[in-house]
Amino acid sequence: MTDTTSTRSALTFEVNRRSDPTPADAIAKVHENPGFGKTFTDHMAVIDWTSDGGWANARVVPYGPFQLEPAAAVLHYAQEIFEGMKAYRHADGSIWTFRPEANAARFANSARRLALPVLEADDFVESLRQLVSVDRAWVPEPGDSGEKSLYLRPFMFASEAFLGVRPADGITYCVIASPAGAYFSGGLKPVTLWLSINYARAGAGGTGAAKCGGNYASSLAGQLEGIEHGCDQVVFLDSSTHTFIEELGGMNLFIVYKDGRIVTPELTGSILEGVTRRSILALAEEVGLRPEERSIPIQEWKDGAESGAIAEIFACGTAAVITPVGELRWEGGSCNHRREGHDDAVALKLRSKLLDIQYGRVEDTHGWLTRLV
Ligand code: COI
C-alpha cells in the first residue's frame, strides 16, 4: 500500500474547473445504476507531446470534445493505445487505485509497439491523481453489488494532421473517468461465450499484447457473430493453428479443475497481459489452488465439460472483475461444464478477495494499492 498523495512527477498540471459542475443529486442518480462507460465526469486530464518539445501543457480541463482535424493520423492509421483502471472509495473516504505501476508499464509497452512516445510512470499516475482529485465527488461508494467504482480510461493518440504513414509528431494523452458498476448487465449471471472460428483477434508479431484500439476493432466482427448466436462475449483462438485459447474480446480467461488446478493461457505475445489476470494468479495460490500458465487447446475445454473434470470457468479484467462463464457455443455445437448445484465457489472467493483488497476491507499485504486522494 502506497499511502501517499505526494507526487514524483515533474509535470505541473494547470487546473481549469467547470464553472457549472454537476450537482451532487445528479451524481447520486448516476451512482444508483452506473452501468459501464455511459456517463463521464466533469473533467479530463490532458497532456500534449511533440517530437521537438516532449510532454507539455499538462492540464485538467472541463470534459468535452477535442478539436481534431479530419487529417489527424489516428483517424486513418489507428495509432492509439489505452488503459483501463479504477478508483475505489474506502470507508474513510480516501480514494485508491490498484497496481497503477503495472498499468503504467503496460501503457509504456503499448506505446513502444505503436511507435508512440512513452509517458513516464510517475507522470501517468499523477495524471490520474489530478483528475480524480478534481472529480472526487464522482467516485461512488461500493454499493450493494460491492463493485461500484470510478473507471479511469487513460489513452493516447496521434493528433497530428498528416497523411503520410509514419509515427506522428503530434500526440495527445488524455484521461477520462466514468462511474462504473458491473460490466455485464446481468451482473454475476454466467456469461455465454461464442467460439470464433472465422476471425482471430491478433497474430504472431502483431499488436495482440498491446492495449491498442485496433485489437478491439478487430474483435468486433467476431463479437457481432457471437451476438447473433445469443452470446455475450467471444473466445478467440491462436491465429496460426486455430487450436489454442487466447482470450476474449476484452478479458482473460481461467479454467478451474476439480483437482485444484487453475489454468490460464500462457502469454504468447498475442495475448494481453491483464493486471487482474496477474493478481488472480497470485491470489489463487493463497487459497490453495495450483495456478498454471500454459497453452490450452480448445478441445480440452470441450472434453473437460463433457467429463465433468472442469469445475468452473471465469473471465476477468479490470472492467469485468471476475465474471463466471456458462455455455460455450460454436457453429453447429455447444458445451456446458455447469451441472445441477453448480456454485462458482472459486470465482466468487477470488472475486471477494480481490474486491476486499481494492476497497481496503482487508490489509493490502501485496502493496497493490496506491492512494490518489
Ligand atoms: C478493462 O477491463 O479495463 C478493459 O479494458 C476491457 C474493455 C472494457 C475494453
- In the chain, how long is the greatest CA-to-CA distance? 64
Residue nearest to atom 6 of ligand 1 (CA): 250
Which residue in 253, 252, 242 sits closest to 312, CA to CA?
253
218 CA distance to ligand 1 middle (Å): 15
Which residues, including other chains, have CB under 8 Å from residue 278's CB and lie 6 or more apart?
102
Residue nearest to atom 8 of ligand 1 (CA): 319
Q: Is 249 in the pocket of ligand 1 (CB under 6 A)?
A: no
Closest atom, ligand 1, to C-alpha of 317:
2
pLDDT reading at 51 higher than 70: yes
Q: Is 372 helix (H, G, I), strand (E, B) or coil?
A: coil
Closest atom, ligand 1, to C-alpha of 250:
6
d(CA 295, CA 68) in angstroms, rounded, equals 43
Which residue in 119, 121, 120 sits closest to 156, CA to CA?
119
117 CA distance to ligand 1 middle (Å): 22
186 pLDDT band (50/70/90 cuts)? confident
d(CA 19, CA 170) in angstroms, rounded, equals 30
Confidence (pLDDT) at 158? 98
Q: Is 222 in the pocket of ligand 1 (CB under 6 A)?
A: no
Question: Is residue 317 within 8 Å of residue 324, measured between CB atoms?
Answer: no
185 pLDDT band (50/70/90 cuts)? confident
Confidence (pLDDT) at 2? 60
Confidence (pLDDT) at 275? 98
Confidence (pLDDT) at 5? 60
Residue nearest to atom 5 of ligand 1 (CA): 84
Give the pLDDT confidence of 3-23 residue by residue, as tens digits.
Answer: 556 678 989 999 999 999 999
Grid-cell match 510517475, residue found: 122
Which residues, including other chains, have CB under 8 Å from residue 132's CB and lie 6 or more apart?
87, 95, 97, 139, 150, 152, 177, 372, 373
Confidence (pLDDT) at 149? 97
Residue nearest to atom 3 of ligand 1 (CA): 84
Give the pLDDT confidence of 104-116 residue by residue, as tens digits.
Answer: 999 999 999 999 9
Confidence (pLDDT) at 82? 98
Closest atom, ligand 1, to C-alpha of 82:
5
191-343 has which fold? D-amino Acid Aminotransferase; Chain A, domain 2 (3.20.10)
Q: Is 318 in the pocket of ligand 1 (CB under 6 A)?
A: yes
307 CA distance to ligand 1 middle (Å): 33
Give the pLDDT confidence of 234-283 residue by residue, as tens digits.
Answer: 999 999 999 999 999 889 999 999 999 999 999 999 999 999 999 999 99
Q: Is 154 in the pocket of ligand 1 (CB under 6 A)?
A: no
340 CA distance to ligand 1 middle (Å): 32
pLDDT reading at 202 higher than 80: yes
d(CA 226, CA 218) in angstroms, rounded, equals 14
Q: Is 319 in the pocket of ligand 1 (CB under 6 A)?
A: yes
d(CA 43, CA 16) in angstroms, rounded, equals 9
Closest atom, ligand 1, to C-alpha of 84:
3
Distance of CA 76 to the CA centre of its chain: 25
- Please report the sign of the dihedral spanned by the C-alpha atoms of residue 58, residue 61, residue 66, residue 67: negative
pTM: 0.96
Residue spans of alpha helices (H) in the chain: 24-32, 74-77, 100-113, 121-134, 213-228, 275-286, 298-307, 345-358
Confidence (pLDDT) at 245? 98
251 CA distance to ligand 1 middle (Å): 7
Residue nearest to atom 9 of ligand 1 (CA): 250
Q: Which residues in the chain are classed under CATH 3.30.470.10? A: 14-184+362-371
Which residue in 128, 73, 125, 83 sits closest to 107, CA to CA?
83
Q: Which residues in the chain are classed under CATH 3.20.10.10? A: 191-343
Q: Is 84 in the pocket of ligand 1 (CB under 6 A)?
A: yes
Question: For the chain, first and last CA: distance in Å?
Answer: 14
CATH 3.90.1150.10 is held by the domain 14-184+362-371? no
Q: Which residues are paired to 45 by β-bridges? A: 60, 175
Angle, helix 275-286 to helix 345-358, in steps of 10 degrees: 110
Q: DSSP state, 183?
A: S
Question: Is residue 81 within 8 Å of residue 178, measured between CB atoms?
Answer: no
Residue type, 273: E
d(CA 233, CA 249) in angstroms, rounded, equals 7
Q: Is 248 in the pocket of ligand 1 (CB under 6 A)?
A: no
Question: Is residue 246 within 8 Å of residue 301, measured between CB atoms?
Answer: no
Question: Is residue 7 within 8 Å of residue 122, measured between CB atoms?
Answer: yes
Distances in whole angstroms, Cα of residue 33 to Cα of each of 42, 181, 187: 18, 7, 12
d(CA 126, CA 45) in angstroms, rounded, equals 10
Confidence (pLDDT) at 249? 86
Grid-cell match 489513452, residue found: 155
Q: Is 317 in the pocket of ligand 1 (CB under 6 A)?
A: yes
Which residues, including other chains, have CB under 8 Å from residue 73's CB and lie 6 or more apart?
79, 158, 159, 160, 161, 162, 163, 168
322 pLDDT band (50/70/90 cuts)? very high
